[in-house]
Chains A and B, each alone.
Chain A
């Protein structure tokens, strides 16, 4: 059911695009060919000019980093992705309807509007943006090598990784893609904003699994289209902000099933029809009609393309030195949700993007021959000259 924008996260962390038809692989003869892989000798010069910085990502972290780096005259190159991880450039905000908590917008604005503004600002500051997805990086070489899905190869002295995170799914029978009862994209989705308005959900009972702000937002969004929305949360108290909780609970079409989980998704073989709710305290189950089931249970950081070259924490987030955006590789910085499992807000991501760009300056200064300190000798010479000039005026 997804706008082929939903990602299937396989057990090994590999992602593929969702959708009824798999996205066909791009034709390689159209891809720019700058491949040096086959040559026996290493190239003496890289095929494209070496950038000071390449930014991989397209959300608030990436764009804030780009703005700062551009203003520091680093001429940043950004890869915003062509539906990287199945999400449009702009990232998670593109699947958010109203953003009411990003400072500076008292009336709120839509996620896509906000990302459009970020993008316009980056470009105005001097960022070059390429709408391609980075498929791999090589951090064993200097300068770092960045390869894109369509065969492009680029080099940079430093990288800012701001690839964000993708919506997580739960392993519930009936919500997968294979087997006799497999309703992923046939009623099961991880993006209510992407899919909720589809005709098949109109005036039908829907359900959202989750208890945070995203679950509340998705429930409110779905309530516009469905006949009812059941929020299924495993705890007996929602995690969402008070404002969002109040709003959702006040809605006549929304009800919350606390301390509950979805044990199974069932249907007629081609479309989802019911879900089995389980009371997590008593173990009792009840089956209820449901034509749309949406996951709102958190995110998985997008780090597969790094091929393990940067140290990740136990949950797959890029590990950064505390209070910085520095990763295990010198010259590689990580900003936004890809390295933040705690705050995960647009504004905190923007803040870390700024940090990354500023740390980049420090890093660039230590690279190569550029000395960090200014020579000290110049000052005393100037002072003496000034004194000599002044001395005659004192009538010496």
Chain B
């Protein structure tokens, strides 16, 4: 499983400064739909291992990043490319939807 957790402190290094596109999964432990989408994100991480990086961030523990990116509902999935946010998916979506969204940003 290639999904690591990032924090307020490590976000810049792991996400913004990454050469690969990064899929960020904003979640919280008490969030049911986040738990539903988590295995989908894990599968995506495995299938897209060479082309994207996938990370998760707990919004309870990392309120600074959550506020900076205006997270209002979770789960929220964000795609970053070259340090810029390029897409946002709000809510738990099926794998096929996430995959087709990601495909737009993979060279």
Where the two chains meet, the residues of A that have a C-beta atom closer than 8 Å to any C-beta of B are: 1-5, 17, 19-21, 23-24, 26-27, 30, 82-83, 86-90, 94-95, 97, 110, 112, 131, 150, 185, 193-195, 197-200, 202
- A24 touching B32, Cβ below 8 Å: no
- A112 touching B72, Cβ below 8 Å: no
A3 and B93 contact, Cβ closer than 8 Å, known pairs A195-B73, A198-B73: no
- The 5 A-B residue pairs with the shortest CB-CB distance, nearest first, are A4-B91, A88-B32, A94-B32, A27-B96, A30-B96
Which of chain A's residues have a CB closer than 8 A to the CB of B93?
A: 23-24
> Pick the contact of A20 from B31, B66, B90, B100 — CB < 8 Å?
B90
Q: How far is the CA of A184 from the CA of B12 in the complex (A)?
A: 33
- A198 touching B30, Cβ below 8 Å: no
> Pick the contact of A4 from B60, B92, B94 — CB < 8 Å?
B92
- A193 touching B66, Cβ below 8 Å: no
> Pick the contact of A1 from B33, B35, B73, B91 — CB < 8 Å?
B73
Taking the closest CB of chain B, its distance from the CB of A192, in whole angstroms, is: 11
Q: How far is the CA of A27 from the CA of B66 in the complex (A)?
A: 30
Taking the closest CB of chain A, its distance from the CB of B26, in whole angstroms, is: 11
Q: How far is the CA of A150 from the CA of B95 in the complex (A)?
A: 12
Q: Which residue of A lies closest to B29 (CB)?
A: A112
Q: How many residues on the B side are at the interface (Cβ–Cβ under 8 A)?
A: 29
- B32 touching A95, Cβ below 8 Å: yes
A–B pairs, 19, beta carbons within 8 Å = A3-B73, A3-B74, A4-B33, A4-B92, A19-B91, A20-B73, A21-B90, A26-B96, A27-B96, A82-B92, A83-B33, A83-B36, A83-B92, A86-B33, A110-B30, A197-B30, A198-B72, A198-B73, A199-B63
Taking the closest CB of chain A, its distance from the CB of B71, in whole angstroms, is: 7
Besides A24-B93, A87-B32, 14 other A-B contacts (C-beta < 8 A):
A5-B92, A20-B72, A21-B89, A23-B91, A23-B93, A27-B94, A30-B95, A82-B36, A82-B94, A88-B32, A89-B36, A112-B30, A112-B32, A185-B73
Q: How far is the CA of A21 from the CA of B72 in the complex (A)?
A: 12
Which of chain A's residues have a CB closer than 8 A to the CB of B33?
A: 3-5, 83, 86-88
Residue B4 CB within 8 A of the other chain: no
Which of chain A's residues have a CB closer than 8 A to the CB of B28?
A: 197
